[in-house]
Amino acid sequence: MSRSIPFNILRFIVLVFIQVFLLKNISLYHVVTPYFYILFILLLPFNIPNFLLYLLAFVMGITIDAFYDTPGLHAASCVFLAYVRIIFISITVQKEGFDNEPEPTLGLMGFRWFFLYALILTFLHHFFLLNLESFHLSEILFTTTRVIFSTLFTVMLMLISGLMFFKKKVR
């Protein structure tokens, strides 16, 4: 556990850097916007206390808000993502599995589980974030289109990064 603290701090810094300096200006027709930074919340260890998970999600969100000039949108969305993550993991992962798989990574949990995990949680995060951003019922079709395409692009980036650092599960 003590080895994972410096690793997660480095992951936090790298993901904020990638989001702010590389992905902030990527927007295809204002429909596809990648929010790759949520990978930090998704890859936190299973056994992290809920309070610490919420705190780290808030810190990640408020950091992104500082660079995006969005007062609290990303922070609220990240805290919502942390809440949904807790529910998803409690439903899909057995308590005994925490010892064998300490983190929900592609290499440890397998492609199918990780893909569903990333897809569902990214969709819910993007749905919450982009609806907060637009906050107009008249734009529901455009917002839904943005949610779907941004989710697909973000999950594709997550899978590519997961495959780049893929470690085969040791049995």
Residue identified by tokens 């993502």 is 81
Residue 139 lies in a domain: yes
* Domain assignment of residue 171, yes or no: no
Strand spans (E) along the chain = none
Within 10 A of 58 (CB to CB), how many other CB atoms are there?
17
Express the helix, strand and coil content of the chain in percent, nearest 5 each.
75, 0, 25
Summarised one tens digit per residue, pLDDT across range 116-160 is: 999 999 999 999 999 999 888 888 899 999 999 999 999 999 999
Query: Is 51 within 8 Å of 6 (Cβ atoms)?
Result: no
Residue 51 within a domain: yes
Instruction: Identify the pLDDT of residue 171.
Output: 45
Q: Worst-scoring range by mean pLDDT, 63-67, 99-103, 126-130? A: 99-103
d(CA 146, CA 169): 35
Query: Whose structure tokens read 């609290």?
Result: 72
Q: How far apart are alpha carbons 66 and 71 in whole angstroms? A: 8
- Please give the model's pTM, rounded to 2 decimal places: 0.90
Domains of the chain: total:
1
In a domain, 169, yes or no: no
Q: Alpha helix locations (H) across 95-139?
A: 97-100, 106-109, 111-134
Domain residues for 63?
Answer: 4-164
**pLDDT of res. 159:** 92
Nearest-CA neighbor of 100 among 40, 47, 39?
47
